[in-house]
Structure 1
Amino acid sequence: MTSPHSPVGAHVPVAGGLATGGLKYAAEIGAEAIQVFVSNPRGWALPAGRPAEDARLRARDDVPVYVHAPYLVNFGSPSEETLGKSIATVRHSLERGRAIGARGVVVHTGSAVSQSYDAAMEQVREHVLPLLEEIPDDGPRLLLEPMAGQGKMLCAKVQDLGPFFEKLEHHPKLGVCFDTCHAFAAGHDLAAPGGVKETIDALVETVGAGRLDLVHANDSKDACGSAKDRHENIGAGRIGEAAFAALFGHPAVAGVPFIIETPGRDPGPHGRDIATLKRLRGD
């Protein structure tokens, strides 16, 4: 029996509309899945959707769609203003995600900034659990994305997801987005023999089977353990092609979409990365 096919796609620009711009770019680079922003990734504005565009994306069952929440979101922030805006922004991303038929909404796990880890994690429980409870059965999962390990990040190693899942009561609407560059920067040596298996095995042991919903497939410009989040094109960085081939071969990753967030906005570099991943997938 063959493993389920993992679609390969990209974060796509949406100039001209989520469906018009996003699907056009996806076709140009050969993407089988897409990730989009539904608001300014570096701002707090919460724009309404365009019903006709939303319907076009929702109707494309053949193209898995994911939403990335804005980078400013931080449930661990000691600032009441930032915390309040983070809650509103993720709620908006979840609602917009449902409107476009998204399977998941990716959110960074955040930082304690100037307060203690324990205080920040209590905020995660207090504010994220109600958001999860609001998600209807046909709504997207909220996908936690561990970070590269810089500063007072709440989660970098895959084992750091354990306290998140405990605080959030292993909610059925909670999932994981695994970023290869972040994991490598945090100290998971995906380039070492057996490194991918060891890391994904640890992820599954920490959060349970069936929680890995998305892979952000990014090579790394910097060394393992650098805590530097600098993406590189597939095979051109420190992680290397073999690690991505190993990811496709891990049973816990079977069928999980891969989304690139690699350098190069024009179709050329992204098209090459998509083609490389498809080759490593075994096409």
Structure 2
Amino acid sequence: MLLGTHCSIRKNISNSLLEAKSLGCNTMQIFTRSPRRWFVNEINQPEIDAFNLQRKKQKLHPLIIHIPYLPNLATSDDILYKKSIDILKQDLTIAEKIFADYFIIHAGAYSFGSNISYGIERIAGALNKCIAATSDKITLLLENVSGGGRRVGSTFTELKAIIDGIKHKNRIGICIDTAHIFTAGYAINTKKGLNSTISQFDKIIGLKFLKVIHLNDSAADFKSKIDRHQHIGKGYIGLRGFGYIVNHPALKNLPFILETPKDTPQADKRNLWSVKKLIKP
């Protein structure tokens, strides 16, 4: 099983690998900068070399990068739009240097007075620019959202519309967040609901595009459109629901990344153990 967490680069980028190793992870997700700031973390070449060497020793794969929170690719504001694209290009350049496999993107929210069709057009346009400027070794992944407001990407139809606008489809994929998809209205907490959801995904988008699962329980109820992650088994999806998810034939060989609360020093270890106990031989 490919199982990991979102790891910290607070001290330096190699610290994330040490954290992953201490938790027994064989995959992980990181930011390349503070997710709430626009400026770039300057990662020097010795740091990059040390990271790449340590990763090779740990045999950690895949390496997943997550976009910061500030960019909005669906906006009608040209200044914010350009700034968002520039941030993506900067982070993708770092991702190339550390041989990242996937780069996860929140599509953003269309502007007040605009509409979802224009928002989708803006997202696809931004991604095409980023894809054209970067290595074909990195796959950009659209992450689904809980919905609500003007946020784009809560339904398979919306995600498919973005993919349809991408020129090089071998460079695009999907990351499904279990908390988001549940509160968006897909009943993945039951066996029947999960099977139906996967069938819909395959019919609308295609399972070949599904690359990563963000494994999070939900502190918010079904169809609430509220994004609040919870510890595995402590939310509305529950241990039984996660048992269906991690053992499903269409999902079990994908990388599972936990983004559960880090409210105690042992939180990640406990959540990882909760998942491991659900795995069937």
TM-score w.r.t. structure 2 length? 0.92
Partner of 1:3: none
How many Å separate the matches in 1 of 2:34 and 2:269? 25
Could you tell me which amino acid in structure 2 is paired with residue 118 of structure 1? Answer: S
Which residue of structure 1 lines up, in the alignment, with residue 83 of structure 2? Answer: 85
1:216-261 Cα shifts (integer Å, max 9, x gaps): 1000011110011000000010001222222222333242111111
Between the aligned partners of 1:171 and 1:262, the Cα distance in structure 2 is 31
Separation in structure 1 between the aligned mates of residue 131 and residue 263 of structure 2, nearest angstrom: 33
Shift of 1:186: 0.5
1:36 equivalent in alignment to 2:17: no
Aligned pair partner of 1:9 in 4, 21, 24: 4
Q: Deviations over 1:181-217 (max 9, x none)?
A: 0001101111133222221222222222321111110
State the shift of 1:49 in Å.
1.8
What's the offset of the Cα at 1:39?
A: 1.3
List aligned pairs for 1:100-111, cutoff 5 A. 100-111=98-109
State the 1:271 CA deviation.
0.2
Gaps of at least 5 residues in structure 1 are 1-5
Counterpart for residue 226 of structure 2: 228
Within the candidate set 48, 60, 63, 1:63 is matched to 60
Looking at structure 2, the residues matched to 263 and 72 of structure 1 have their Cα atoms a distance apart, in angstroms, of: 20
**Equivalence map 1:126-165=2 (5 Å):** 126-138=125-137, 140-165=138-163
Q: How far apart are 1:265 and its partner, in Å? A: 4.9
State the partner residue of 1:74. Answer: 72
Paired with 1:126 and 1:109, the residues of 2 have a C-alpha distance of 11
The equivalent of 1:116 in structure 2 is 115
Counterparts of 1:222 and 1:147, CA distance in 2: 13
On the 8 A contact 1:73/1:85 being kept in 2, the answer is yes
TM-score (norm 1): 0.91
Give the RMSD, CA atoms, in angstroms. 1.7
State the partner residue of 1:99: 97
Distance in 1 (CA, whole Å) between partners of 2:241 and 2:51 is 32
When structure 1 is superposed on structure 2, of 115-124 and 79-88 the one drifting more is 115-124
Shift of 1:86: 0.8
Count of residue pairs the alignment pairs up: 276
Consecutive aligned runs of 4 or more in structure 1 exceeding 6 Å deviation: none
Aligned pairs (5 A) from 1:186-225 = 186-225=184-223
- Specify the code of the residue in structure 2 equivalent to 1:28: S
Moved more, 177-186 or 119-128: 119-128
CA distance in 1, matches of 2:241, 2:101: 26
Q: Deviations over 1:61-100 (max 9, x none)?
A: 4212111111111111121121111101111121111111
Gapped regions of structure 2 (runs ≥ 5): none
- Considering Cα pairs closer than 8 Å and 6+ residues apart, tell me whether 1 or 2 has the greater RCO: 1
SS of the counterpart of 2:170? Answer: coil
Give the deviation of 1:170 after TM superposition: 6.0
In structure 2, what is the Cα distance between the partners aligned to 1:76 and 1:278? 37
Contact 2:191 2:244 in 1 (8 A): no
From the superposition, tell whether residues 133 and 252 of structure 1 become closer, same or farther in structure 2 (CA, over 3 Å): farther
| AA of the residue aligned to 1:11 | H
Q: Report the Cα distance in structure 2 between the residues aligned to 1:207 and 1:30, rounded to whole angstroms.
A: 33
Deviates more, 1:226-235 or 1:129-138: 129-138
Residue 266 of structure 2: aligned partner: 268
1:181 aligns with 2:176: no
